[in-house]
Structure 1
């Protein structure tokens, strides 16, 4: 079997505020649930058709120094629309929108400084 990403976890300083940011930018309902000993805010991006999609959650923790690894997240609409929602919700965008064969993306950070990419798929 070939290795592949199965889950993502993003550390945030304020779980409810971060869940609100990701909900505003990506259009998710961020359910806060108990997972093991901790509360987490689940990404609800998966549907029955998304068997191979990667999911994850936010957790109360310490964000990486600098920006840490970048998680590319597909969003509804264009990269430009996602960038506007990101800024309005308290994030920052960096540099220009980048075109690649699979679509387009905009580098950004969430309010905790975590590095994300606002990904517009080719068939958005």
Structure 2
């Protein structure tokens, strides 16, 4: 039998050079409030919130990002239209590097955050 869970991706970790600046960037772009966690593990990190307090998402952590745009791409849900998210992404200091790309499930665009991480902005149908 082939393994096919409801959600194959269970966690993401995005390395950033300045945690406070990155929290501000992601909060502004995705209209959210990342939660700073200071009491688990050796480093502080910032959790992406989910509707369910026990939901699965990921976090930002102090680390060394890959060379600009060369690492894996993490796709994050847009809080409103793709175009509005793309505008906030650029205004907050990121670089939008593609036009919207339609796929059966919705549309997405590629961007590079201020640390050089490859980020997809996804808007479902």
The TM-score with structure 1 as length reference comes to 0.89
Name the CA distance, whole Å, in 1 between partners of 2:111 and 2:78: 13
Could you say what the CA RMSD is over the residues aligned between the two structures, in angstroms?
Answer: 1.7
Runs of 4 or more, structure 1, over 4 Å off, are none
1:23-42, aligned counterparts within 5 Å?
A: 23-34=27-38, 35-42=40-47
The TM-score with structure 2 as length reference comes to 0.88
More strand by share: 1
Matching of residue 94 in structure 1 with residue 70 in structure 2: no
Name the CA distance, whole Å, in 2 between partners of 1:64 and 1:95: 19
Instruction: Indicate the SS of the match to 1:57.
Output: strand
Cα offset for 1:2?
3.6
Cα offset for 1:95?
1.9
CA contact (8 A) 1:8 1:54 kept: no
CA contact (8 A) 2:68 2:115 kept: no
Unaligned runs of 5+ in 2: none
Q: How many residues align?
A: 119
Unaligned runs of 5+ in 1: none
Name the CA distance, whole Å, in 1 between partners of 2:87 and 2:48: 20
Cα offset for 1:91?
0.3
CA contact (8 A) 2:82 2:107 kept: yes
